[in-house]
Amino acid sequence: MSEAMLVKVRKLLAKAEDPACTPEESAAFTAKATELIARYGVDRALLAARDPATDPVGDRVVEVVAPYARDKAGLLAAVAAPLRCRCVRRRHGSGFAMHLFGFASDLERVDLLFTSLLVQAAHGLAGAVVPVGEHPAAFRRSWLAGFAQVVGTRLVEAEAGAVADSGGPSVALVLADRSDRVQRRVAEAYPRLRTAAPRRLAGTGFGPGAAAGRSADLGGQRLSTTRTRQLPH
């Protein structure tokens, strides 16, 4: 992502985080930051349609470590899919090595958002009150599931809005072709890939986590993909 775009996003998020901001103003600043990130993805896709060398298909590995490694991996998948990236989860020690596939600009957007959201999730969990009698780990896993689901839905909506604002059907065709190319790259690397079984969670934190996801800032400073954030134990 260009430095100019990052500066705009950082300024909007700084305003959104200002204690003097009303909830309505904060939501407006956050929505604008999300819109800029989504628009950037569409702009890069259209540029690459004319000059493929500007945005090649690539891959990278993101290490997701304990605690709550599987839940962090779920958050990464929730961010990657709306941004037209695919991720393959591989066991790595006590955590996972998430193999991401996508166009360079989309991988960059995933990196930016996932790093920021990990920090926000850590802050949200630190302030979440575990109900009396409930196991903290069960509550926190369900909290993270709610957080990831709502974040994913918000990103889908932002991406759809950027497509609609940029030309509709013709842009959608370009993006569909990009998604197909990413899927082909995944199939080449993992010809026998299997879909993981659905997960069952017993905790009651889904609602509070979803509420945190609705107010999360969908943007932030770009950091290394190998850096991870600790969530409360």
Contact (CB, 8 A) for 23 and 188 = no
Residue 72 is predicted with a pLDDT of 92
- The pLDDT of residue 79 is above 60: yes
Neighbour count for residue 58 (Cβ, 10 Å)? 14
Q: What is the mean pLDDT of the chain?
A: 80
Mean pLDDT of 72-91: 92
Determine the Cα–Cα distance for residues 178 and 180; give it in Å rounded to an integer: 5
Mean pLDDT of 186-202: 79
The DSSP code for 219 is: -
Lowest mean pLDDT among 17-31, 47-61, 77-91: 17-31
- The pLDDT of residue 78 is above 60: yes
What residues contact 53, with CB distance under 8 A and at least 6 apart? none
Contact (CB, 8 A) for 99 and 163 = no
Residue 228 is predicted with a pLDDT of 46
- DSSP 3-state of 95: strand
Mean pLDDT of 34-40: 80
Packing angle between helix 104-127 and helix 23-50, nearest 10 degrees? 160
**Which of the residue ranges 74-78, 172-176, 199-203 has the most confident prediction, judged by mean pLDDT?**
74-78
Q: Is the peptide bond before 23 cis (omega within 30 degrees of 0)?
A: no
Q: Which token pair is 64?
A: 């997701």
Mean pLDDT of 68-95: 91
- The pLDDT of residue 181 is above 80: yes
DSSP-derived pairing of the beta strands 57-64 and 95-103: antiparallel
Task: Report the percent of the chain where pLDDT is more than 70.
Answer: 78
Lowest mean pLDDT among 10-24, 121-135, 160-174, 186-200: 10-24
Contact (CB, 8 A) for 132 and 11 = no
**203 residue type, one letter:** G
Mean pLDDT of 97-122: 86
Regarding pTM above 0.85, the answer is no
